[in-house]
Structure 1
Amino acid sequence: MKNSVKILFLLIGFQFYSCSNSDDKYITLTAEEGEQYSGGETTFFNATEEAFGFSAPNLTFDEQSDFGIGNSFFRQSWVTAPASTTARDGLGPFFNATSCSSCHFKDGRGRAPLVDGETAHGLLLRLSVAGVNSNGSSFSDPIYGGQLQDNAVLGQTVKGKFNIVYQDITETFEDGTVVILRKPNYQINSLGYGEFASGIKVSPRVANQMIGLGLLEAIDESTLLKWADPNDNNKDGISGKLNYVYDIASNSKTIGRFGWKANQPNVRQQVAAAFSGDIGITSSLFPTENCPPGVDCDVIPNGGSPEITDSNLNKVALYSSTLAVPARRNYTEQNVLEGKKIFETINCTSCHIAKVQTGNTHAITALRNQTIRPYTDLLLHDMGTGLADNAPDFEASGSEWRTQPLWGIGLISTVNKHTNLMHDGRARNVTEAILWHGGEAQNAKNSFKKLAVTDRNKLVEFINSL
């Protein structure tokens, strides 16, 4: 009897130990408080194809009104002058698109042409040559300027066209899985005004989703300076640095935040530069038409001087600043939370910083003191030779790019019906985008390649929840 009791006790103890040991190995992960509010109080809960198009819900009545006017100027097409629509005439004479929404469809992300001859849907080519202007910007091509406009108004010769030829690049995961990446090569043809300058640098740029720009602008400079580590003093292999660019309105050098190489200091100048380069619309910041030598722009009808008034430019800038960030989806699911942990473990958060507080000085009160989750440090990082365009941009080298904010990335497929990523759309999904990382991100990429397929999928699930 005593032996039976002793055996029963041992069995019960063994079962208890086994269950307890198993429970110790499995730890339920939980989301952070407020993790769903990617844009703080400016977050909007909508995951439809309109997800990028809502205003921040905490704007004043007057700001909501200006948002609506800015929205109309962003979405509606500009026409050639003269026209009865005097507020929207002056297109060109050379341009890439007729409206902001042509490239940022539904305030979302553009893509490269799918086939030769297709009109570009938000991909353009920047042009530069060796040398630096007095304000620190790169020299443009003396004939074609700083951007290849592939459309022109009636009566003018188009500057040029381009097509893309892709080269296959093979990447192999540690488990033997093979992924074929595609490296784009740009072939520019049908040049209308002669050859490019010797040593021309061509840098493709895809239009980004427009959400949360004002929140990024509202981050204090002191925060960005704290994140910067240009000499890698902490020896972690990450040496992010700030770009210092020319602010036209203040005629000074300041921190760059916007654009693929952080070459614009604020939303207003970014918007004005796009009006000038992409649509051919002059403003007080960019009053000169993009005309090659031999073309007299003064005799081509225009929409006034400037073609967009400061008042309307300011409304488009406010619209662009206050597009709400969509809320997170699936953020409490265990697979997503495990993917988040992997994202942190392989050190993606060294550049894609998850959470930050905006400052208290932005002109738009709604953007102040917000806890946001953009997953960026807004710094320049050397991404290696695979992504290099070899085109310096102020203090950005030919292989340095600004850390792309990841908020909204999982909704691009819903809004824009594609999943193409990176500065030129070469990556067809999140996995390919990670595999293109090099330079300072090489170690994170190598860690990703060593993950089991289940962990890779969890990481991708997490990123697509942002």
Structure 2
Amino acid sequence: MMTLMKLGTAGCVLTASLTAAAAAPLSLDHRDDLSDADKAKVERVLADPQADDLAERFEEMSGGAATSRKKLNANAFSHPSANLSFEDQQRFAVGNGLFRKFWVSSPASTRASDGLGPLYNARSCQGCHLKDGRGHPPAPGEEPVALFLRLSVPPTTEAEKAALANRDALVIPEPVYGTQFQTYAVPGLSAEGRMKVSYTDKPVTLGDGTVVTLRDPVYTMTDLGYGPMRDDVLISPRVAPQMLGLGLLEAIHPGDILSRADPEDVDGDGISGKPSWVRKAPGGELVLGRFGWKASEPTVRSQSAGAFAGDIGISSPDRPDPYGDCTARQTDCRRMPTGEQANLGPTEAPDPVMELVDFYSRNLAVPRRRDVDDPQVLKGKAVFRALSCNGCHVPKYVTSRKAAIAAHRFQLIWPYTDLLLHDMGEGLADNRPAGDATGREWRTPPLWGIGLTELVSGQESYLHDGRARTLEEAILWHGGEAETARNGYAALDKADREALIRFLKSL
């Protein structure tokens, strides 16, 4: 157990001490994929560290055997899982080409690449996930690409309320503009409008008198191309998240996630994570959501299909409407030609296109961690634990032996997430419910790779809308269930704050 100690006027310093009381034993009764011998082994490797001045075994291998050991540069997030077979490396390479390819409007001479839009936010997957990293808000005067707005309206009919209650729908679309605001359109069609972002400064004074200026965003939709929106429209800004390690997150046993859920905070620790339940397919069974900012998608493939439809306007076997997010009231959009071609398949991105993009997305490797035994990094890790940041950003898991991809099975991984929904306070609230997520709740984002954000993306940009320009700003935006940890960070002296950031930069 970590304890926070006051030392006169020198501020707060952290000391690590092991209490006589042993931590509660880890229960793996929910793991139906493990033998008794496996369970004993997993219990040992998942136990809390017994010393804070030493790195844990295999800690630098964030993605287990799939971890990339390639040279760190701007392409650090774009390497395949290191333990793929030669044949699977070929599949990854083809999927990479499809992920990067630019789609064009129909009809086109490049017949295998047409079908863009008619309304869209980007022309390729890579357009939002540049170098497979996270997106960022537009600079002043720049048009947004990797930042867009989700739309919905509150339910007004019994049928709409029933659809939400049964999880047949996660949101009710805005009647004219759908579930996403598209700022681009193919030639001959009006875009849905333009998005503008402005910021107001929000100064925060830390315990030692240091002042940190946060920026509080305001989003405006202008030049609406299809008439007014409903007055009660709900909007939620989203930046594209980083892509690495997604298949390993999908390989985490659902029982490991559900065992940490405590929606009523029965244990009284102030953390009340809850699962997101979504339909596996329309009318299908309820399964655990684990992808997207609100954990609204159950698999990497469903997340990819949603992005194809909403971001690029490309249909797939999972989302077969070739008009993407065009609504029935956008009649001009619905009259535009599509990219469906009978000789290529029933949709604009038929299998094997979706299969290959899904495989690529699930096998983007997590880079090896740096400086795991550096004294300042270890001190920062101790601070992380002392502030109970690991209550939501759970450090490690052993993936399922039944994972769909062989390279992901039975791997010790270090993603720093619980994949549950948490109330993050009013400061980060979008006030737009989506499925089980309220307007104040977000899925805990994984932290692995976060220290390479600037290297890969060219700038730092954190949180669901990229408002935080530094890791410190991201921490100081935390509220709700994370407010105690946030206040603990604000009370630290400079040396301990710097150690915590140094630890995060090592991930």
TM bracket, shorter-chain basis: over 0.9
Aligned-partner Cα distance in 2 for 1:298–1:428: 40
What are the Cα deviations for residues 101-148 of structure 1, in whole angstroms up to 9, with x where unaligned?
0100001110000113x1224111000100253503110100000000
* Offset at residue 33 of structure 1 (A): 1.1
Aligned-partner Cα distance in 2 for 1:153–1:30: 57
The counterpart of 1:120, out of the listed 140, 144, 151, is: 144
The counterpart of 1:76, out of the listed 101, 115, 119, is: 101
**What residue number does 1:146 align with?**
179
1:373-392 equivalence runs, <5 A = 373-392=414-433
TM-score for the superposition, normalised by structure 2 = 0.85
Residue identity in the other structure for 1:452: D
Residue 369 of structure 2 is aligned to residue 328 of structure 1: yes
**What residue number does 1:8 align with?**
none
Q: Secondary structure at the match of 1:130?
A: coil
* Offset at residue 296 of structure 1 (A): 4.5
Residue identity in the other structure for 1:334: P
Contact map agreement 1:28 1:334 (CA 8 A) in 2: no
Q: Secondary structure at the match of 2:296?
A: coil
Residue identity in the other structure for 2:91: D
1:177-192 equivalence runs, <5 A = 177-192=210-225
**What residue number does 2:201 align with?**
168
Aligned-partner Cα distance in 2 for 1:226–1:154: 51
The counterpart of 2:67, out of the listed 36, 40, 43, is: 43
Aligned-partner Cα distance in 1 for 2:235–2:385: 35
Residue 473 of structure 2 is aligned to residue 442 of structure 1: no
1:315-394 equivalence runs, <5 A = 315-394=356-435
Residue identity in the other structure for 2:431: N
Q: Secondary structure at the match of 2:352?
A: helix
* Offset at residue 98 of structure 1 (A): 0.3
Aligned-partner Cα distance in 2 for 1:28–1:373: 17
Aligned-partner Cα distance in 2 for 1:273–1:56: 24
What are the Cα deviations for residues 367-416 of structure 1, in whole angstroms up to 9, with x where unaligned?
11110000000000000000000000100000000001000001010011
Contact map agreement 2:204 2:213 (CA 8 A) in 1: yes
Residue 283 of structure 2 is aligned to residue 256 of structure 1: no
The counterpart of 2:459, out of the listed 414, 418, 429, is: 418
Contact map agreement 1:249 1:285 (CA 8 A) in 2: no
The total of aligned residue pairs comes to 441
Aligned-partner Cα distance in 2 for 1:249–1:383: 30
Residue identity in the other structure for 1:109: R
Residue identity in the other structure for 2:426: T
Residue identity in the other structure for 1:266: T
Aligned-partner Cα distance in 2 for 1:167–1:111: 18
Contact map agreement 2:121 2:145 (CA 8 A) in 1: no
Residue 315 of structure 2 is aligned to residue 291 of structure 1: no
Can you give the 5+ residue segments of structure 2 that lack an aligned partner in the other structure? Answer: 1-15, 18-50, 341-345
Residue 54 of structure 2 is aligned to residue 30 of structure 1: yes
What are the Cα deviations for residues 3-41 of structure 1, in whole angstroms up to 9, with x where unaligned?
xxxxxxxxxxxxxxxxxxxxx99x981111111000001
**What residue number does 1:243 align with?**
276
* Offset at residue 231 of structure 1 (A): 0.9
* Offset at residue 253 of structure 1 (A): 1.7
Residue 119 of structure 2 is aligned to residue 104 of structure 1: no
Residue identity in the other structure for 1:80: S
What are the Cα deviations for residues 32-71 of structure 1, in whole angstroms up to 9, with x where unaligned?
1111000001100232111000000111233222111111
* Offset at residue 248 of structure 1 (A): 1.8
**What residue number does 1:198 align with?**
231
Q: Secondary structure at the match of 1:169?
A: strand
Residue identity in the other structure for 1:282: S
Residue identity in the other structure for 1:263: S
Contact map agreement 2:52 2:378 (CA 8 A) in 1: no
What are the Cα deviations for residues 423-460 of structure 1, in whole angstroms up to 9, with x where unaligned?
00010100000000000000000110110001100000
Residue identity in the other structure for 1:44: S
Judged with a 3 Å threshold, the aligned counterparts in structure 2 of structure 1 residues 298 and 388 are, in CA distance, closer, same or farther, namely: closer
Q: Secondary structure at the match of 1:441?
A: helix
Can you give the 5+ residue segments of structure 1 that lack an aligned partner in the other structure? Answer: 1-23
Contact map agreement 1:336 1:465 (CA 8 A) in 2: yes
Residue 328 of structure 2 is aligned to residue 303 of structure 1: no
* Offset at residue 180 of structure 1 (A): 0.9
* Offset at residue 83 of structure 1 (A): 2.1
The counterpart of 2:493, out of the listed 428, 433, 452, is: 452
* Offset at residue 422 of structure 1 (A): 0.3
Q: Secondary structure at the match of 1:301?
A: coil
* Offset at residue 249 of structure 1 (A): 6.9
Aligned-partner Cα distance in 2 for 1:225–1:421: 26
Between 46-55 and 235-244, report the one with greater CA deviation.
Answer: 46-55
Aligned-partner Cα distance in 2 for 1:382–1:294: 36
Q: Highest CA radius of gyration, 1 or 2?
A: 1
Residue identity in the other structure for 1:405: P
Q: Secondary structure at the match of 2:496?
A: helix
Aligned-partner Cα distance in 2 for 1:80–1:42: 38
Residue identity (%): 48
TM-score for the superposition, normalised by structure 1 = 0.92
Aligned-partner Cα distance in 2 for 1:146–1:213: 24
What are the Cα deviations for residues 189-246 of structure 1, in whole angstroms up to 9, with x where unaligned?
0000011112111100110110000000000111111111111111000000000012
Residue identity in the other structure for 1:257: R
**What residue number does 2:111 align with?**
86
Aligned-partner Cα distance in 1 for 2:175–2:88: 41
Aligned-partner Cα distance in 1 for 2:384–2:119: 44
Q: Secondary structure at the match of 2:154?
A: strand
Aligned-partner Cα distance in 1 for 2:100–2:330: 33
**What residue number does 1:232 align with?**
265
Contact map agreement 1:283 1:309 (CA 8 A) in 2: yes
Judged with a 3 Å threshold, the aligned counterparts in structure 2 of structure 1 residues 294 and 322 are, in CA distance, closer, same or farther, namely: closer
Contact map agreement 2:103 2:113 (CA 8 A) in 1: yes
Between 361-370 and 82-91, report the one with greater CA deviation.
Answer: 82-91
